[in-house]
Chains A and B, each alone.
Chain A
């Protein structure tokens, strides 16, 4: 406290005081609101969208305090999605990450068992209910792997909304079955044929659609990035992942985990899980980015290893960019992690040192993919396999350092199994050479639209 008559402190001291005071009044990390997460976030969009973003923020805040909204969302989670999703312990898999010490217990948060096969449905149902409250009748969405597009098409069918999904042409080829799935659900799928023809360009095209049709249309952004209020709102709709996992683990083991791990593309499944543990200092948070073919090759999507702060798609965050600020193409075996930027809250957690972000290569992810299949009978999405590979790495590292749980027991690790791997079977079949020569391989090629 500075009193009148005290000598005026110099600038660094004043800054430190200001920071301390700010910290004392700040909410818990888990409840920080936009538009800014530290130096990140904001609203870097054309003025034409500002009114719609303001309306969305107002409606979203009203809805969160309205039992008619929260009860309806809870009912859909329970009766439609199938929540709570289970927490599954995977001991045969965990045997590979313990080393010689006490080892580790590994628990998977089974978002793969949600209706539509991934965590994406949590956010989509929340936004779709908001769309109804706002009186709009058309939704648009971007999709990379197709998970978010499928979830959006599903919610649109459920609530009787017109739905258009933008998908990079390259991704429509990689994920042809998801294109068919969306069309079955009544959505129009528009292949985007400009730029790198992947997720980044699908978002550009969705933003262009939104600018032109914002009176009638809501943009169901699929991750914790984009202009405010999306990063905060999408986190809110996914915080149920962490809230459930925390309660389930406490019930199961009587204590908090030592490590929480998730893959990070845009970062929605990771933030949803991390959020419940952000204010528990003893819980180490790990986000695993797509290391692609290796950071040194330049073919990756590791924003924290190979990027720098910049602006893309409405938010300031870490970004793969060249010296002129042009966005660099990203690369990953998994379409869902193939994105050059990342949600601003992750950049904030990174700079705070609250979460650690490491790259996982295509090879490492595919090895973990196969390991989970063979040890536990669970086929994960390749995105989630990055988290599995990262958890193995961290578990081995901590064991080598002699780290254990309390009383010398095993470490406790929670991994977000954000999606199921059905959509990735063709990729895995090619990667591991699982098909017999001839007919089966030809059929696969044909189904993928390459024949």
Chain B
């Protein structure tokens, strides 16, 4: 991992706590002039073992970082696709302990790909905030994205994330200097004051939700996204990634012009759902798909990941179009 130029890239770089994911974003920006591609999948869908296969498929097809979802019974910021997958994971018996096991397997497979766990707050609260942070760090996690925890309520997490070092990624250190990444969300409705508060509490990157709404594919990425990224940077955040509503390579390319990272969730999850989508006739429990069908779904997941990876590599004029991407075709 080359970190030589990271600290001098911009005027604000020295004050921003980059953590594990921020170092990756800085390296891609400075060395390849491109944004990162983040891919989201929930642990345990359709089963814990198969979710590992799916996550590895994303790695093999060019994601730069992974958002690992914790399935939860009441996901208020998720649309029908992620809800269906989370429910499927719970129905398949997925437990919180599976998150740490999948995480450890994933970071062993691809130590160069930081993994941030995306979780609603109650599972962490129940597990114990410091205990969760400790086990997350031990399994190689980079940090947490917390869709229903705002910094105002996060004193325990701020303390716990300082007490444990994230890794294994470009920003981790043995003595725990950077701490775990804590990725809070901002929205088009966030006031300048709240953008400052959130930027100040975050480490790694700030997650800008491109539209007002829940996760899910949309025809267009909100026109407020670019302004929100600019405003969040002006509020003090060096790294800002955009999520919610990005589903195609063209959208990834568009968002990648101005964001440090592009996060795709529902579109990737959808490739794994097959016909067990809300509104479709469900042929059987989603975790009971046969091997051929599962292989076909992984194939679709890999193809979409490669397209999106191509998208982020051609986002900026004159950049990286010649950078080869896995086996994208």
A contacts, CB < 8 Å to B: 42-52, 54, 194-195, 200-201, 204, 207-208, 211-215, 308, 310-314, 316, 319, 321, 323-327
Check if A48 sits within 8 Å of B121, measured CB to CB: no
B124 cross-chain contacts in A, Cβ below 8 A:
325
With the chains together, A42 CA to B188 CA distance in Å? 22
7 further A-B pairs in the complex, CB-CB below 8 A; given A204-B74, A324-B96: A46-B76, A47-B190, A50-B194, A194-B278, A195-B73, A211-B214, A326-B90
B16 CB to nearest A CB, Å:
19
**For the complex, what is the distance from the CA of A314 to the CA of B198, rounded to whole Å?**
18
Q: Would you call B327 an interface residue if the criterion is a C-beta within 8 Å of the partner chain's C-beta atoms?
A: no
Known contacts A42-B153, A47-B150; is-contact A204 B76 (Cβ 8 Å)? yes
Question: By the criterion CB–CB under 8 Å, are B95 and A324 in contact?
Answer: yes
A311 touches B194 (CB 8 A): no
Decide if B205 is an interface residue (CB 8 Å cutoff).
no
Decide if B87 touches A195 in the complex (CB within 8 Å): yes
Contacts of A46 in B (CB 8 A): 76-77, 147-148, 185, 187, 209
Q: Does chain A have a CB within 8 A of B45?
A: no
Of the candidates B74, B75, B126, which one forms a contact with A323 in the assembled complex, judged by CB atoms under 8 Å apart? B126
Q: Is the CB of B76 within 8 A of A47?
A: no
Give the Cβ gap from A146 to chain B, nearest Cβ, in Å.
22
Bin chain B's interface residue count: 35 or more
B212 at the interface (CB under 8 A from A): yes
Rounded to whole angstroms, the CA-CA distance of A211 and B187 in the bound complex is: 10
* A310 touches which of B95, B126, B198, B209 (Cβ 8 Å): B126
Interface residues in B173-212 by Cβ distance below 8 A to A read: 184-191, 194, 198, 209, 212
A221 to B76 Cα, complex, angstroms: 15
Q: How far is the CA of A320 from the CA of B136 in the complex (A)?
A: 25
CB neighbours of A194 from chain B (8 A): 80, 83, 87, 278
Cβ B122 vs Cβ A312 within 8 A = yes
Chain B residues contacting A211 (CB-CB under 8 Å) are 76-77, 212-214
- A213: chain B residues at CB < 8 Å are 212
Given contacts A51-B191, A200-B74, A324-B96, contact A44 B127 (CB under 8 A): no
A46 to B122: give the CA distance in the assembly, Å: 14
CA–CA, A323 to B187, complex, Å? 32
Closest-CB distance, B228 to chain A (whole angstroms): 11
Check if B123 sits within 8 Å of A44, measured CB to CB. no
Residues of chain B within 8 A of A54, CB atoms compared: 191
A321 to B123, CA, bound (A): 10
Give me the interface of B with A, judged by CB distance under 8 Å. 72-77, 79-80, 83, 87, 90, 95-96, 121-127, 147-150, 152-153, 184-191, 194, 198, 209, 212-214, 278
- Find chain A residues with CB under 8 A from B72 CB: 325-326
CB-CB under 8 A from B188, the residues of chain A are 48
Question: Are A311 and B122 also in contact (CB < 8 A) when A204-B74, A207-B76, A325-B127 are?
Answer: yes
Closest B-chain residue to A212, C-beta based?
B213
The 6 closest A-B pairs by CB, nearest first: A325-B126, A48-B187, A325-B123, A212-B213, A324-B96, A325-B122
- For the complex, what is the distance from the CA of A361 to the CA of B126, rounded to whole Å? 28
**Cβ contacts A to B, 14 pairs, < 8 Å:** A43-B150, A46-B77, A46-B209, A48-B187, A48-B190, A48-B209, A50-B150, A50-B194, A195-B73, A208-B77, A208-B214, A324-B127, A325-B127, A327-B74
- A420 CB to nearest B CB, Å: 31
Q: Which of B185, B190, B212 has the most CB of A within 10 A?
A: B212
The answer on a CB contact under 8 Å between A215 and B95 is no
Most buried by B among A43, A46, A310, A312: A46
Among B76, B80, B148, B185, chain A packs the most CB atoms within 10 A around the CB of B76
B95 surroundings in chain A (CB, below 8 A): 324
Q: How far is the CA of A310 from the CA of B122 in the complex (A)?
A: 6
- A327 CA to B122 CA in the complex, in Å? 9
B77, B80, B90 interface centre (most CB from chain A within 10 Å): B77
> When chains A and B are docked, how far (Å) is the Cα of A326 from the Cα of B148?
15
User: How long is the Cα–Cα vector from A323 to B126 in the complex, in angstroms?
Assistant: 7
Which residue of chain A lies nearest to B98 when distances are taken between CB atoms in the complex?
A324
Cβ contact within 8 Å between B76 and A321: no
How far is it, in angstroms, between the C-alpha of A325 and the C-alpha of B75 when the chains are bound? 13
Is A52's CB under 8 angstroms from B189's CB? Answer: yes
Q: Is the CB of A51 within 8 A of B190?
A: yes
- Distance between Cα atoms of A215 and B213 in the complex (Å): 11
- Let me know if B122 and A45 touch, CB within 8 A: no
Q: How far is the CB of B183 from chain A (nearest CB, A)?
A: 12
Kindly state the separation between the CA atoms of A310 and B76 in the bound complex, as whole angstroms: 16
Across the interface, do A51 and B189 meet the contact criterion of CB distance under 8 Å? yes
Partner of A324, one of B126, B148, B198: B126
Q: A45-B150, A47-B150 are in contact. Are A325 and B194 (CB under 8 A)?
A: no
